[in-house]
């Protein structure tokens, strides 16, 4: 790096450096790293473009640039990311929330709004990780009570930080254990209005082909879903009838190749199944219910959904 570095010069240099090394979203990454080191909001970088950066800050930035170019995800380096327009803390113990998962949250909130008259909505978020799904739902649909479970105590510690950060301690309860195992039906809750999950769903063959920044850095337990990627779905679906209200809905994120497979698993249990595509036109969220959901999305249960 040259000796006089302004914010503008640093961003331009990092964008070129990251582009040459095939780092995703080079400008965003450059701005996030710099705003982290300078303890400024991203917008403030633009307001101080000609500010000269002190040597100690440059040294800190250099270390982060080096690690980023070695494909360490920037969210782990700075300890946070953005999800559903909220800041979410992350650590290497949990998956970094993905923008694709926002579709599940959006559909969940839409569904809950159709049931407002039904009082406080009871929700279960299985495989909560950083807690991003539970936190986003509770923040946007306050009349709810969420039980969020995860098998990893370390991931739950991150979820706990996020729940406190967004003042949702009264809305979300964290339980450690295997899927529904820590949920005692009748003691913790009556049945749920909504069961949501983004479980591990990467198959053995896909796992080998994951990008280096995912495979080498994110927890395997958060990604790997068994030989065909469906292990956790099978187990969730087998237990759902015990925990879901008769008019409740199950919503799960799925991998882009899993639409047909998940449909086959759900057909014996649910009358209505809809697979939603994300903005890249890939299958991404499955929604299943045994009742029509009145006043829900106009394109849901309108005949385009499968009925068995
Ligand atoms: C794909 S990550 C999703 C995290 C978060 N919900 C999100 O959307 O970013 C899956 C999570 O499932 C957890 N997990 C894996 N197997 C589990 C099991 N049998 N029971 C509960 N949680 C499990 C992992 O620890 C990980 O936090």
On whether the CB atoms of residues 58 and 38 are closer than 8 A, the answer is no
Chain segment 31-62, per-residue pLDDT in tens: 999 999 999 998 999 999 999 999 999 999 99
How do the domains of the chain map onto residue ranges?
7-70, 98-307
Q: For 14-39, write each residue's pLDDT tens digit.
A: 999 999 998 888 998 999 999 999 99
CATH label, 98-307, candidates 2.60.40.10, 3.40.50.150, 3.90.79.10, 3.20.20.70: 3.40.50.150
Residue 149 region, left (φ>0) first, then alpha (ψ -120 to 50), else beta? beta
Distance 258 CA to ligand 1 centre (A): 18
Q: Give yes or no for residue 226 having a pLDDT over 90.
A: yes
Total residue length of the chain: 308
Residue 25 has what pLDDT? Answer: 85
Q: Which atom of ligand 1 is nearest to the CA of 232?
A: 19
Pocket of ligand 1 (CB under 6 A): 94-95, 97, 101, 127-130, 132-133, 149-152, 155, 178-179, 198-200, 221-222
The pLDDT value recorded for residue 116 is: 66
pLDDT (tens digit per residue) in 263-308? 999 999 999 999 999 999 999 999 999 986 665 554 555 444 555 5
Which contacts (CB < 8 Å, 24+ apart) does range 3-10 have? 4/52, 5/52, 5/53, 5/58, 6/49, 6/50, 6/51, 6/52, 6/53, 7/34, 7/38, 7/45, 7/48, 7/49, 7/50, 7/51, 7/53, 8/49, 8/50, 10/34, 10/53, 10/61
**Residues 220-236: b if buried by 16+ CB within 10 A, e if exposed:** ebbbbbbeebbbbbebb
* Average pLDDT of the residues in 99-123: 91
């Amino acid at each position: 790096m040259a000796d006089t570095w302004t914010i503008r010069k640093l961003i331009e240099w990092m964008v070129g450096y990251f582009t040459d090394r095939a780092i995703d979203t080079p400008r965003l990454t450059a701005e996030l790293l710099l705003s982290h080191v300078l303890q400024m909001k991203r917008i403030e970088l633009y307001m101080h473009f000609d500010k000269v950066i002190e040597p100690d800050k440059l040294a800190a930035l250099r270390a982060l640039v080096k690690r980023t170019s070695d494909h360490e995800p920037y969210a782990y380096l700075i300890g946070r990311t953005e999800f559903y327009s909220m800041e979410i803390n992350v650590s290497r113990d949990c998956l970094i929330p993905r923008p694709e998962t926002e579709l599940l949250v959006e559909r969940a909130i839409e569904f809950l709004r159709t049931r407002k008259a039904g009082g406080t909505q009871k929700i279960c978020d299985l495989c909560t990780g950083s807690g991003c799904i539970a936190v986003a739902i509770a923040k946007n649909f306050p009349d709810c009570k969420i039980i969020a479970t995860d098998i990893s105590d370390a991931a739950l510690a991150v979820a706990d930080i996020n729940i406190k950060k967004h003042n949702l301690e009264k809305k979300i309860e964290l339980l450690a254990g295997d899927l529904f195992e820590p949920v005692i039906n009748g003691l913790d809750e009556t049945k749920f209005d909504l069961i949501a999950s983004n479980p591990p769903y990467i198959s053995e063959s896909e796992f080998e082909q994951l990008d280096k920044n995912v495979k080498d850095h994110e927890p395997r337990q958060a990604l790997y879903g068994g030989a065909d990627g469906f292990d956790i779905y099978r187990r969730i679906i087998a237990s759902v009838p015990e925990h879901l209200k008769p008019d409740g809905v199950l919503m799960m994120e799925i991998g882009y190749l899993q639409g047909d497979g998940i449909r086959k698993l759900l057909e014996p249990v649910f009358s209505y199944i809809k697979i939603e595509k994300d903005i890249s036109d890939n299958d991404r969220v499955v929604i299943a219910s045994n009742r029509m959901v009145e006043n829900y999305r106009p394109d849901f249960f309108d005949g385009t959904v499968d009925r068995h």
